[in-house]
Amino acid sequence: MSGSMRLVGKPDTWELRVFIGRDSLGKVKHRYVRFRGTRRQAERELARLVVAQDENPVVVTESALAWGSSTTINDAIAAWRGNGWADLSPTTVRHYQELWDRHISSSVGRRAISGLTSYEVEKYFRSLKDAGVGKTTIRHVRAVLHRACKLAGKWSGGRLPNPIAATEMPVWALSEQPDRVRAPSLDEIGRLLAATSEFDARIRAILRLMVATGMRRGEACAIRWSDCDLVVGTVRIDESVVGAKGSAVVKSPKTRASIRSVAIDEESRKELSVLQRIQMELAEASDVAIDADSFVFSFEPGGRTPPHPDSISHAFTRVRSLAAVAADIHLHSLRHFQATALDAVISEKQKQARLGWTNPVMARHYTDSVPEEDRRAAEHIGSLLWGSSETEAISDAEPPQFGQVSKSS
């Protein structure tokens, strides 16, 4: 907590102000006290009030937002945060808050919606570009402003306009465009895979599975043992893990297209089988149970919590450094490798289905079966990754199975 004071009258009348918090609309709230005495006495009283607020906080009174000519962009975003952001993923909320704090709140956010024109908004976008803000970030800023003003229009009963709706983005010349994401070459993939042998079995297995299937980072973190059929050689993807403050949160995928079953090649199946035995031995040694709902790549004995997505990205950075692979190859580049490598062996529609992309997949009826085309994709990727090169000697013994156990809701 913090406070301030100012002289408001003579003789020696002070206004003491103590910060007590923010309301749900983001409005700063203070407690005001009039005090008569010397400066030193006023400072002591202010310190006492601050301590008292820390020990017994005054309840923040909510501000009623009057939707009208004085409603600002910040008011609209704050109202949206209090009535809508809870439905978004923690990652999205964090991103929106960062955009608001960094690019909106102290500039266009202070403007009244009713007095803001599309010309001024486009001028604001151009000022962001001139300051070095990237195209994607400005597009996201525009999306936040558009949604907030659209909601303000609805919540005001149509009294407030949406000055963002008719705006256009600045134009970026080709020379100003960021470099496109580069798919790693097969040689780079080989070096990355070789470097994983220096790491923990869980890191090695999750990175190899991501290379072999092209699944997203969060999807890989959410894989449970009940998702893995290590006899048939398939992995079910129906959840995702996102980073939250100090933890990892399991959530449903954004679209139905993200829910899918993908075939895995023989070496990937063996890698998972080895990890399964390691995880079961670790759980037994720790006197905990591991079951069908345990997370495959968990770092906790028993697998009750998923790995944090950021930990996988940090591990990949170390693998990349060890493999002497260029820094423009990121964890997400593994999906680009998959998409590029599959061009010659399966149809575009099946490639989209395997990678969980939305548009072509929304038209098809989703089933749990793995098409023969997808099996061919898995075998092709397997031959590229493992091919005729020597691989670790891994037992072909059938892995222990948990049976057909349905996930608890």
Q: What is the pLDDT of residue 364?
A: 39
Q: Are 43 and 56 in contact (CB under 8 A)?
A: no
Q: Is residue 409 part of a domain?
A: no
Q: Is residue 163 part of a domain?
A: yes
Last residue of a domain, one of 151, 176, 201: 176
Q: Is residue 265 part of a domain?
A: yes
Number of domains in the chain: 3
Q: What is the pLDDT of residue 230?
A: 93
Q: Is residue 66 part of a domain?
A: no
Q: Is residue 156 part of a domain?
A: yes
Q: What is the pLDDT of residue 309?
A: 92
Q: Is residue 306 part of a domain?
A: yes
Residue 89 and residue 46 in one domain: no
Residue 191 and residue 305 in one domain: yes
Q: Is residue 68 part of a domain?
A: no
Residue 109 and residue 246 in one domain: no
Last residue of a domain, one of 13, 28, 55: 55
* Parent domain of 336: 186-385
Residue 167 and residue 204 in one domain: no
Average pLDDT per consecutive 10 residues, the chain (409 residues; last block may be shorter): 79 86 72 87 90 82 75 94 86 91 95 95 95 93 97 94 95 76 88 92 94 93 95 93 80 82 92 94 93 94 93 94 93 88 80 76 40 79 71 43 41
Residue 258 and residue 353 in one domain: yes
Residue 171 and residue 210 in one domain: no
Residue 193 and residue 221 in one domain: yes
Residue 308 and residue 272 in one domain: yes
Residue 131 and residue 221 in one domain: no
Residue 92 and residue 224 in one domain: no
What is the CATH classification number for the domain harbouring 84? Answer: 1.10.150.130
Residue 363 and residue 282 in one domain: yes
Q: Is residue 393 part of a domain?
A: no
Q: What is the pLDDT of residue 178?
A: 66
Residue 319 and residue 346 in one domain: yes
